[in-house]
Amino acid sequence: MVSLYIGSTSGYSGKNLVTMTLGLKFQQEGYKVGYMKPVGAMPKRVGDKLGDEDALFMQEILGLSEDPEKLTPVVVDHDFKIKAFSGQCKNLMEKIEAAYQELSKDKDIMLVSGSGSMYSGRYCNVDGVTLVKKFGFKTLVIDRFDKELNYDYLAVLKDELKDNMLGCVLNDIPNQFMEELNSMIIPFLESKGVKVLGVIPKDPLMGAIKIGDLAKRLGGRIIVANEKADKVVENFLIGTMQVENFMTHFKKNPKAAVIVGGDRSDVQLVALEGNCQCLILTGNLYPNDIIMTRAEVLGVPIILVRDDTFTIAKKMDEILSRVKLRDVIKVQHGTKLVGSLLDFNAIKQGLGLA
């Protein structure tokens, strides 16, 4: 039995997507796959047991049905943090080890998913680096592009984990960065012994969110075209500029959500006629009757929110960078995409399976 720890340089980097892709691929090849997430930060109750929402979703995708408390033996909630910082959390590693031993019985490969970054949980000694060293896990580290890549972080991890680190997967890479990646970053990483085992380009669908979910996350409500709440938003524009300037930007992003003050009917109308995905009206200001009627006719949802435009734009940016992998379409699309780009043979070889 071999084990692979899937960690990352930061939260929301794509661990779930890579884990499920590998799990399904190993299952297709006939391996008996086990899974656990030692530390979880998304508490979810299943009956009288506390588990982790991501871990429960993952085992559902992989067709497993393990005890939630063994699947995620350490669940971080507010009470846990209070105890941990006051030195009351004892025997956490023993709990993880006991759960790992039970879940790995009769398995060919165990996939062990990290939470947050490789150093998250260091305050109570259950971070990824500590777990990898304790159990001798082979490790795959995901680094998601966010303005830049964390190449220093990857080099430091390689120094610390040595041969336990199989390599990295670089995720969410914009097209305009590919040349620099191939000519500079990948050669640098490989000179430091960090193998690049996959490069996943930025994909709008993977960062999309349903309009109905978006309204809830923004603390707003849909006041027009509620029946279109399942449409998805991939990006957004802010309609605070003059109409002429807005039209120039909007033509480049016709399927964006448009964030605009409820009193800016000029921008609202341009966005509607340009078939935007939805209007997000700030300041709790209702649009006029013309806008309401036109949105109804065109089937464009309008979300009404209380916050100002700047606050909503900040929230939108955070939401779209942290959208969870839940929809069937995303799972199917994402696993197919990632499966075609991972160096699966090199991963198998690193695990001693090839």
Percent of the chain at pLDDT exceeding 70: 92
Residue pair 117/131 in contact by the 8 Å Cβ criterion: no
pLDDT in tens, 35-94: 999 999 989 998 899 999 999 999 999 999 999 999 999 999 888 988 888 888 888 999
Region 228-250: mean pLDDT is 75
Neighbours of 159 (CB within 10 A): 12
- Average pLDDT over the chain, rounded to whole? 90
Rounded CA gap, 326 and 57, in Å?
Answer: 8
Those residues with Cβ within 8 angstroms of residue 6's Cβ, 6 or more apart along the chain or in another chain? 15, 18, 19, 22, 111, 112, 113, 114, 139, 140, 142
Look at residue 324 and tell me whether its pLDDT is greater than 70. Answer: no
Strand partners, 39: 74
Of residues 293 and 331, more confidently modeled: 293
Residue pair 74/96 in contact by the 8 Å Cβ criterion: yes
Look at residue 275 and tell me whether its pLDDT is greater than 60. Answer: yes
Please report the DSSP string for 287-337 in residue order.
PPHHHHHHHHHHT--EEE-SS-HHHHHHHHHHHHHS--S-SHHHHHHHHHH
Which among 16, 13, 92 is positioned nearest to 59, based on CA atoms? 16
Domains, the chain, ordered by start? 2-205+324-350 (3.40.50.300), 209-321 (3.40.1390.20)
Q: What is the pLDDT of residue 252?
A: 65
Do the strands 278-282 and 257-261 form a parallel or antiparallel pair, or are they unpaired?
parallel
Look at residue 248 and tell me whether its pLDDT is greater than 70. Answer: no
Q: What is the pLDDT of residue 236?
A: 83
Backbone phi and psi for residue 176, each to the nearest 5 degrees, phi listed first: -70, -10
Rounded CA gap, 96 and 74, in Å?
Answer: 7
Q: What is the pLDDT of residue 331?
A: 77
Q: What is the pLDDT of residue 204?
A: 67
Region 201-225: mean pLDDT is 86
Q: What is the pLDDT of residue 73?
A: 96
Q: What is the pLDDT of residue 350?
A: 96
Half-sphere exposure (CA, 13 Å, Cβ side) for 248? Answer: 4
Strand partners, 236: 257
Note the pTM of the prediction, 2 decimals.
Answer: 0.79
Look at residue 325 and tell me whether its pLDDT is greater than 60. Answer: no
As given in the structure block, the two tokens for residue 342 are: 């991972």
Look at residue 17 and tell me whether its pLDDT is greater than 80. Answer: yes
As given in the structure block, the two tokens for residue 349 are: 């070889």
